[in-house]
Structure 1
């Protein structure tokens, strides 16, 4: 089905919905690399205007990838709430944008629509919104999740402590983790990316983090961000798995390049839930999955099917949504400038990903990051971090000095998170806040310095069991 729009006598025609969505996207170096981006700003504006007149029903009924060959497309179709969709199906994309931005449209209203909104609809409306509109609409929506604590409530700004080490040295990981706790971080998760994806390494890291949480009685959860099969193998050997992690993408082929399938995710979730029931831990909820996404992953795997980065990111969110996760975050600048070239593109992608995830009902966090060969710097990260805090982002990363020495990229630090909480009057997860106050780390919502030596003194006890 072709779409068209005329600007000052010049007719622009788009062969199908997939091309229209791609040409309406904001500038992304990855879309240009894939050969699907608008050739000019005039063509981009024409695509946006044409897209604004498309009924939501057309998008819902027009898969951008054939569901007979792609299980993500089938998942989207099978999970679509058509009964609730009847409330909005007659709207055009432009009218849906106005509905989202209307002051009378509340977060409660939008939460009831989450299964009625397909990822392609979410991506389409994001393409018509400015940055402040992405912030404003996302800020309406709160997605609350529970594991050992409760994340996502209004006013809560969580932090993942990310104590990575280039050789997976347990003492180095522990020092960084305790340092993060001393700055009030770690309520989202203490999550380690292992340098070596082996069962022995993953098991050792998980046991270490479990001892840390148990000895200090921290109301948080741990994760070792290895491949799902490695984590499950460690689970079989007795390692405590609080959250099961996996990077996911928006096409079956891209997920296959990660070595995963939807069936594997389902089985893994069930196995971790079963293990939770056998552990002597007071779990606040049954949400056990942690997913990471990011624009460009399908393109880097040559599995994008001619679909633009934002739409594919939204489809990755649909994969995540199907497994009721505790945490989801986009790693917004990690892949590199081939996909998001500079500060402007990274900022835009971060706001898009967060908005689309929230619209689809996800507990959305963002790794505000960039690689050292991108045209960005720490001021770029500061800008996006502040915008995301205003948008109600569930959590961000806490990396020692904002410099991940294992993954070799720049992110946000423990200090950055503490500053944002102070600036916006935000707080940690309630159970975690109570622990921080009981330890004297927080007083009247502000950090103190009194308990840091005591926390650092616990490192030897954890290492020696």
Structure 2
């Protein structure tokens, strides 16, 4: 039992799970789940109580028993008691203060990565302001490699997302060309297939691999199909670079996605055996998002932001090249408006980076949410300052297959110009060699870049 007071008002919180939920900044998903604070006063009281909580309390009380949940068991397995000695004297509030202090740098955060459980990290984020989340994340640098190097300081990458409502190869190729000519695609050329089946995924993989090899593009491709589909494709020796899967923070949620920790381990080993990488062997790509556990009735009364952070423990077990939170995609049932989406995006990025993940954010909203492009511009800019590894690049920012609003190729150009950021180094050199961009990262539209045009779409049709 935890107790706190605001003036003459007294509050009690039955357990750690309840305290974490009540301390969470307001969001519609927690209200829908019935775990949110009932008033602003109760939320502040919970945040005061959480700030004073010693970090070792999180080692004494599991919010979801490990004997019933393999994610909880994984969190226990990952914990580093030796590294924890560096911070075991701190409270949640003390950890926040230290992260924001001049004494804390990227090397120190990396050294305590496995001393921090997801619940500790989630707790810290709940008592942070937006600028705290930006500054804290900016101190974390997580670099990953496949055919290029993603996440270095002073750089931001872009997932080129050429989705098509019928998986038409000519339409997909046209979107890929559009993105390449605007400097996108260094994180991955990644397609969400309209239909998750072997023939479609195989055709899309061969299309992307043909483009990549013909123009010698130092990047990687991915069809975001189910992990078991990827495993079948690899068994056929299809040109699959990255294995994709959506994951979550409880065993029951992952089972609802049709995956387990064992399947993910097997898929990673299979992808490594393909030996398609060059500069590094990070072969996994994971997506997450606040609210998915509630949709699957797999939340166990835990708030959605804490569950999101638990998903990062799953992700880091498999050394991914890319992780991103699709922050506003599920809808207003979980993040009601632009204010909640902005807060959640910065929380997710901070928590993932603190835990050692190469975090990107799909800065997005659905058309029935109380949000607009102004909200996304704010989140985009703050994530750029925070050192986000990559964002999405979608033609016109409107995904015509998934029917949601995200960020465009031009949004990436805006970030690179306004914050003096560059693409992945190998990809930057390729863009300059092809004449696509000049030294200032602006598209040049020189004759050299037109080498990409002849037969680009038609050559790969069918």
For the aligned pair, the TM-score class normalised by the smaller chain equals: over 0.9
> Which residue matches 2:152?
153
Residue 310 of structure 1 deviates from its aligned partner by: 0.7
> Which residue matches 1:313?
308
> Which residue matches 2:351?
356
Where do residues 22-33 of structure 1 align in structure 2 (5 Å cutoff)? 22-33=21-32
Distance in 2, matches of 1:177 and 1:333, equals: 24
Match for residue 303 of structure 1 among 283, 295, 298: 298
Residue 462 of structure 1 deviates from its aligned partner by: 4.5
Contact 1:215-1:462 within 8 A present in 2 as well: no
Structure 1 counterpart SS, 2:56: helix
Contact 2:435-2:449 within 8 A present in 1 as well: no
Distance in 2, matches of 1:376 and 1:4, equals: 36
Relative to the length of structure 2, the TM-score reads 0.98
Indicate yes or no: 2:334 matched with 1:335: no
Write the deviation string for residues 228-250 of structure 1: whole angstroms up to 9, x where unpaired: 01111122222111110000000
Match for residue 414 of structure 2 among 419, 423, 443: 419
Residue 457 of structure 1 deviates from its aligned partner by: 2.0
RMSD: 1.1
Distance in 2, matches of 1:424 and 1:220, equals: 23
Where do residues 51-450 of structure 1 align in structure 2 (5 Å cutoff)? 51-276=50-275, 279=276, 283-447=278-442, 448-450=444-446
Distance in 2, matches of 1:207 and 1:60, equals: 48
Distance in 1, matches of 2:148 and 2:455, equals: 22
Gap change, CA 1:221 and 1:462, over 3 Å in 2: farther
Contact 1:179-1:456 within 8 A present in 2 as well: no
Write the deviation string for residues 349-368 of structure 1: whole angstroms up to 9, x where unpaired: 00000000000000000000
Structure 2 counterpart SS, 1:446: coil
Relative to the length of structure 1, the TM-score reads 0.97
Residue 180 of structure 1 deviates from its aligned partner by: 0.4
Unaligned runs of 5+ in 1: none
Contact 1:212-1:462 within 8 A present in 2 as well: no
Distance in 2, matches of 1:135 and 1:355, equals: 7
Unaligned runs of 5+ in 2: none
Residue 458 of structure 1 deviates from its aligned partner by: 4.5
* Ranges of 4+ aligned residues in structure 1 off by more than 4 Å: none
Write the deviation string for residues 77-121 of structure 1: whole angstroms up to 9, x where unpaired: 011011101111121001000000002211111111111111000
Contact 2:349-2:359 within 8 A present in 1 as well: yes
